[in-house]
Amino acid sequence: MSSPENILVCVTQQITCERLILKAADLRNELRGELFVIHVAKNEWNFLDNIKEGEALEYLFKISKSVGANLSVLKSDNIVQTIVDFVNENKITHIVMGESPNDHKENNFYNELKSLLNKVEIHVIPQAGIG
């Protein structure tokens, strides 16, 4: 029997990440693995100070629960390394992430993840109807 396929969704503190969680849930149903949702916040960032972002995370937490996933919120100044560690600890085989707006630094984020996790399949979901 092959080992389970575990899926990790990387979310930001935006309600629009709901679509990433739902896409990943579909993938999980296909692969019959476990679904994990992660948000990594920089150490100096305090979501308690920002009501809107706190509400968005609360909303994403509910969506995650509704598809049987846990939302982990981790604090770190090295977001890529934190995700890599999480992937290794939880035997993640697939990552679902959103396309970054106008190809700037998050593309480096994708490239860094790809280079550090060459056995993990990364699914980049295009932005929905934003144009």
Instruction: Give me the residue label for tokens 């849930």.
Output: 25
pLDDT for residue 131: 42
Per residue in 46-93, pLDDT (tens digit) is: 655 677 778 888 999 999 999 999 999 999 999 999 999 999 999 999
Instruction: Give me the residue label for tokens 């100096």.
Output: 44
Residue type, 3: S
Per residue in 14-52, pLDDT (tens digit) is: 889 999 999 999 999 999 999 999 999 887 766 556 777
**Six-digit token pair at 124?**
């980049």
% of the chain beyond a pLDDT of 90: 63
Continuous segment of H or E residues that includes residue 29: helix 18-31
Per residue in 90-102, pLDDT (tens digit) is: 999 999 999 876 5
**Six-digit token pair at 48?**
């308690």
Does the domain formed by 6-125 have CATH 3.30.950.10? no
- Model confidence at 8: pLDDT above 90: yes
Residues in Cβ contact with 116 at an 8 Å cutoff, skipping those fewer than 6 apart: 80, 84
pLDDT for residue 2: 64
**The pTM is what?**
0.88
What residue spans define the domains of the chain? Answer: 6-125
